[in-house]
Amino acid sequence: MKTILLIIVASFLPIVTNSQEKTDELFINWNKETVSSLKSIKETLTEQNYAKNRLEARFAYWEIKDESQLNRNSIRYTFLKILNKKIDSKDLVIIEADNSGEYYRIQNFVVYLNANNKLDLDIYRYDRNEGWKLEKIITNYDGKINSILENKGKYFINRDDIIVSHFELGKIVSSEYFLFETLKNNEVKKIISIEQNK
């Protein structure tokens, strides 16, 4: 009986290891893309100083010393873990749009293609005691991935920093960091307003 149990346990080990290795790699690559975006901000000296400050703050927030470091307890890593199979979607966007209003809210918005090739929108909030919690699911969300990834519009829409990250089939494609009042995107505004107007 012990031999059968050992064989069953051993057969699941490669699956767990492969899944964890994939998450480890994705976490590091995601951080590298975001950090690269922050380092590329060179519009004005003021924005460069803000970007440098944000970079230090992000490393502290993600509990890493640099973008190549792995920390499985990081707030970003634990978020990747709860996304599970969704991250393998053909098209997926994560909008990290923390709200520093009266109460500081850590929140992520995930837009992805579902099995019917329609968009779904999940809203997550982080609780310091309970970790990430799924707050709301909107099925067949009326929007387009390409619209979320654009930075064209008439007015700046963000009072706080926003990170817009694009994934395809479990791989990071881009991760753009927008300092406050640098993002012009009405689709992103519409998405983050869903939670603010709750």
Q: Are 113 and 91 in contact (CB under 8 A)?
A: yes
Whole-number pLDDT of residue 108: 96
Structural domain containing residue 58: 2-196
The runs of H, that is alpha helices, within 40-172 are 45-61, 75-83, 145-149
Whole-number pLDDT of residue 6: 44
List pLDDT tens digits, range 42-95.
Answer: 778 888 899 999 999 999 999 999 999 999 999 999 999 999 889 999 999 999
Q: State whether residue 5 is helix, strand or coil.
A: helix
What interhelical angle do 45-61 and 2-39 show, nearest 10? 170
Q: What angle do CA 8, 14, 20 make, to 5 degrees?
A: 125
Whole-number pLDDT of residue 5: 43
Q: Which residues of the chain carry a pLDDT beneath 70? A: 1-17, 100-103, 195-198
- Beta-strand pair 92-96/107-113: antiparallel
Whole-number pLDDT of residue 38: 93
Tally the domains of the chain: 1
